[in-house]
Amino acid sequence: MLTEFNFEKENQVVIVSLKLPSISDEENNNSIEELKLLSQTLGFAVKEIFVQKKDRIEPDYYIGKGKVEEIKLYLSDNNIDAVLFDSELTGVQERNLEKLLNTTIFGRTEVILHIFKKRARTNEAKLQVQLASYEYMLPRLRNMWDHFSRVEGGIGLRGGEGEKQLELDKRIIKNQISKIKEKLKKIDKQMSNRRKNREDTNLVSLVGYTNAGKTSLINLLAKTNLFAENMLFSTLDSTVRRVFINDNLTILLNDTVGFINKLPHGLVASFKSTLDEITNSKLILHIIDGSSHSIKNNIQSVNKVLEEIDALNIPTIRVFNKIDLLNNGISDIMEEKTENDIFISVKKKIGIEELKEKINKFFE
């Protein structure tokens, strides 16, 4: 469904970023660093980063033609397998860039989709990723035809027959989208029934930026061994575990997919049934990586998704994790600290009892 690519070998890639006036240098650098982490999750080795400062996005190539030529020259002198753009590209931009650079092009959204595809374990998660992939692919079909044509040495879409095939493929994909949505509706109905059964329970949802330590925290509190890895998007599936807080309180703790800056809206929509579990919560624990250099941006990214799913009004405790790796960036947050904030380290088991006390106090 997505761009065909051999992810089994270590691929060498370059990253391209467009710095617009509305974006600060810090925001742009953080976004590039995040794309580097995303690319490493796919086994990519980043060999070079190209940054162009422009007043606007170029409709044909996203960046200026001169910068594209500069990248082309670099590619001719180096063994590069793909070019990653730190933004979502239009189908036209992808097609033009692939033709001019003669290599595989990935926009940020497609990189995230490939990671989700790699991480999906349950049938529901796989269906959600398929849906997001098909909806991403639909407006880019012509570009994908050209991509396969270039890879196979063919002649691409030509004349009426090619257009007919393109329309046929569109119908097939739309049909697949409808089928997947129907399957997800059935799953959502089952999930909805489960949520109704939990209405009188103390459901607490963990939300946070990807790799903030949500799954590690649920493993510690619930004494379970869920898959947790120091890697982006190690958790895609919503997991609920019973957690004993004290003699008077037991809660259901819901682990959710991690959020990220520039998370494609299509992915949020595709993971609706998973994220709906959050809206049924009585309390949210917003897990924040205290060692991150992008704390404020990460908080904003999470709040943006919570707003999309109408969950911003749910009582929330902000939990700053990894305080054993604390850096000076936390001082900005310390100035805004409220009584609903707590600092912990899951790894060192610091502040866990205090967190339990806060949860208990909420449900008293």
Give tens-digit pLDDT for 99-130. 999 999 999 989 988 888 887 778 888 898 89
pLDDT at 15: 98
| Residues whose CB is less than 8 angstroms from the CB of residue 227 and which lie 6 or more positions away in sequence, other chains included | 215, 234, 235
Whole-prediction pTM: 0.78
Judge whether 2 lies within some domain: no
pLDDT tens profile 173-214: 899 999 999 998 888 787 777 666 655 679 999 999 888 888
CATH code for position 340: 3.40.50.300
Residues 262 and 345 in one domain: yes
Judge whether 211 lies within some domain: yes
From 119, 143, 163, give the residue that closes a domain: 119
From 85, 119, 153, give the residue that closes a domain: 119
| Residues whose CB is less than 8 angstroms from the CB of residue 19 and which lie 6 or more positions away in sequence, other chains included | 25, 28, 51, 52, 53, 54
User: What percent of the chain stands above pLDDT 70?
Assistant: 82
DSSP state letters, 159-197 = HHHHHHHHHHHHHHHHHHHHHHHHHHHHHHHHHHHHHHH
Separation of alpha carbons 166 and 145, rounded Å: 8
Residues 161 and 225 in one domain: no
Is the separation of the CB atoms in 42 and 115 below 8 Å?
yes
Residues 245 and 167 in one domain: no
Q: For residue 348, what pLDDT band results from cuts at 50, 70 and 90? A: very high
Residue with tokens 């904003």: 300
Mean pLDDT of 71-80: 96
Report long-range pairs for 226-230 (Cβ below 8 Å, ≥24 apart): 226/255
Residues 261 and 347 in one domain: yes
Residue 268: burial class (beta carbons within 10 Å; 0-12, 13-18, 19+)? middle
Q: For residue 219, what pLDDT band results from cuts at 50, 70 and 90? A: confident
pLDDT at 120: 79
CA distances from 201 to 194, 242, 253 (A): 11, 11, 11
Residues 159 and 267 in one domain: no
Residue with tokens 């391209």: 16
From the CB of residue 224, how many other CB atoms can be counted at a distance below 10 Å? 16
> Whose CA is closest to 262, among 307, 208, 302, 306?
302
Q: Which residue has the higher pLDDT, 246 or 234?
A: 246
CA distances from 147 to 66, 86, 94, 141, 236 (A): 23, 20, 9, 10, 29
pLDDT at 143: 61
Parent domain of 78: 11-119
pLDDT tens profile 324-342: 887 555 565 665 567 789 9
Separation of alpha carbons 11 and 43, rounded Å: 7
